Amino acid sequence: MTPKEVLDYAKKHGAVMVDLKFMDFPGMWQHFSVPLSELDEGSFTDGFGFDGSSIRGWQPIHASDMLVIPDSDTAVMDPFTAAPTLSLICNVVDPITREDYTRDPRNIARKAEAYVKSLGIADTAFFGPEAEFFIFDDIRYDQKTQHGFYYIDSVEGTWNTGRVENPNLGYKPRPKEGYFPVSPSDKFVDIRTEMCQEMMKIGIDIEAQHHEVATAGQAEIDMRFSPLVRMGDQLMWFKYIIKNVALRHGKTVTFMPKPLFGDNGSGMHVHISLWKGGKPLFAGDRYGGLSDLAMNFMAGIIKHARALCAFTNPTTNSYRRLVPGFEAPINIAYSSRNRSAAIRIPMYSTSPKSKRMECRFPDPSCNGYMAFSALLMAGLDGIKNKLDPGDPLDRDIYGLTPEELKDVPKTPASLEESLECLAADHEFLLAGDVFTPDVIEMWTDYKMSTEISPMRLRPTPYEFMLYYDI
């Protein structure tokens, strides 16, 4: 839409407020609202001011003034506000220089899209994330000097088969058996459908929804692939809508990768393909029906996978999922059909348009704009340097012996290790000024000071079980 079309759209839908949404550095949507009377065509160039020092990972207090510039193409009506509200996703700029802010994740994604076009390799990078999540009935957690705990509950939780529910009607999926029985074992089909309907109302194309492997309401909703920036926007709407629909029903949703012990965690498999002039570039006669370009792209992701984890698996909880010997694909290898490989070439269709690669190690705690951009930059590095991905690994990786696996690289074992990998391998991200040194430095500093160091200081309940009586 043009700015004028946005104003006409808002009046047509009776909007009285405008909600201005933007992304903080770690990956949470922030917002503030203004009356519709404050929005005019000039707002799409002049922007709205806010305090950047109060946003995580952003400006110091002595240089706090920032501007949000609404993107007119993102205009939709917010589905959850009581008063009719126009929603606009914004870019962040410096009010003095009018330059795009380097630490605005959406700006990084916009630069990544511009960079791939500037190389002449492709004009569109498509991304299709499959973000898994849990729908719970209750979540309690606390951490004090003398105690710390979390407590999760779900009507579907296998641990509740013996609970007095007056009456307890059973039908609670056993661990790793949630994929995917019909109701009454699947108790959330209608909630997931409502989530899909709300997404479709604002223009997000949905391919499927279903229960996932774990007990206690693990779910997946698949969006149809879209260009990088648009998919970054859609992933934010995806999380926003899912959480708010769950709230309507007295439920709560988490995108934590590993909230439950002893059952599957939540991944976010990311499907990637490059196109140019409306034609797919990943289809060819190489392994799995891929082109030479696709093989080079895949090799770039394999080469940089350990550094990529700093963005694709950016929480300490991410590495409760990426553990050797369990369901997550920690071995950095590629294969067709084999879901135990970190990169899979889906074989559902032989159509060139469907040819893509599926990167399986990311998880839904990530900042989509930055994770997708990092994956793209790694793949482009592989293309530019004509990297070879080596041989595929078509055997069940989890059935291989340690000797057979010794030469297969693995994802980092912790967030701190992934940041060390990023420190040693980030030049590919700086190409085209897509990521900047201050982004890499602030990302590392923020994760160390806000997440890793505080976690080191706190004992966990299981440590008491292991060590209290020593």
| Contacting residues for 159 by C-beta, under 8 A, at least 6 apart | none
Name the active-site residue from 113, 220, 363, 381: 220
CB 287 within 8 A of CB 392: yes
**Cα gap 357→147, rounded to integer Å:** 45
CB 324 within 8 A of CB 402: no
**Cα gap 276→126, rounded to integer Å:** 11
Please work out, in degrees rounded to the nearest 5, the angle formed at the alpha carbon of residue 425 by the alpha carbons of 272 and 416: 95
Q: Is 159 exposed, middle or buried (0-12, 13-18, 19+ CB in 10 A)?
A: middle
Name the active-site residue from 271, 356, 360, 426: 360
Q: Please give the helix or strand (H or E) that residue 270 lies within, else none.
A: strand 268-276
Q: What percentage of the chain's residues is helix, strand, coil (to nearest 5)?
A: 40, 20, 40
**Cα gap 258→53, rounded to integer Å:** 31
Per the annotation, the verdict on 130 as an active-site residue is yes
C-alpha distance across the termini of the chain, in Å: 67
- The per-residue b/e assignment along 41-65, b for 16 or more CB within 10 angstroms, e otherwise, is eebbeebbebebeebebbbeeeeee
Q: Which two tokens stand for residue 414?
A: 């912790």
Per the annotation, the verdict on 269 as an active-site residue is yes
Q: Is 284 exposed, middle or buried (0-12, 13-18, 19+ CB in 10 A)?
A: middle
Q: Please give the helix or strand (H or E) that residue 439 lies within, else none.
A: helix 437-447
Output DSSP code: residue 365: T
Per the annotation, the verdict on 360 as an active-site residue is yes
Q: Which two tokens stand for residue 23?
A: 């992304």
Q: Residue 358 forms beta bridges with which residues?
A: 271, 344
Name the active-site residue from 73, 339, 394, 420: 339
Name the active-site residue from 71, 104, 263, 358: 358
**Cα gap 88→61, rounded to integer Å:** 26
Name the active-site residue from 106, 110, 230, 269: 269
Name the active-site residue from 19, 24, 71, 132: 132
Name the active-site residue from 41, 51, 433, 438: 51
Name the active-site residue from 24, 71, 113, 130: 130
Of the candidates 356, 80, 392, 92, the one whose C-alpha atom is nearest the C-alpha of residue 239 is 80
**Cα gap 215→169, rounded to integer Å:** 16
CB 68 within 8 A of CB 187: no
Name the active-site residue from 24, 198, 212, 263: 212
Per the annotation, the verdict on 327 as an active-site residue is no
Please work out, in degrees rounded to the nearest 5, the angle formed at the alpha carbon of residue 354 by the alpha carbons of 189 and 228: 75
**Cα gap 96→94, rounded to integer Å:** 6
Per the annotation, the verdict on 220 as an active-site residue is yes
**Cα gap 455→316, rounded to integer Å:** 8
- Which residues carry out catalysis? 51, 130, 132, 212, 220, 269, 339, 358, 360
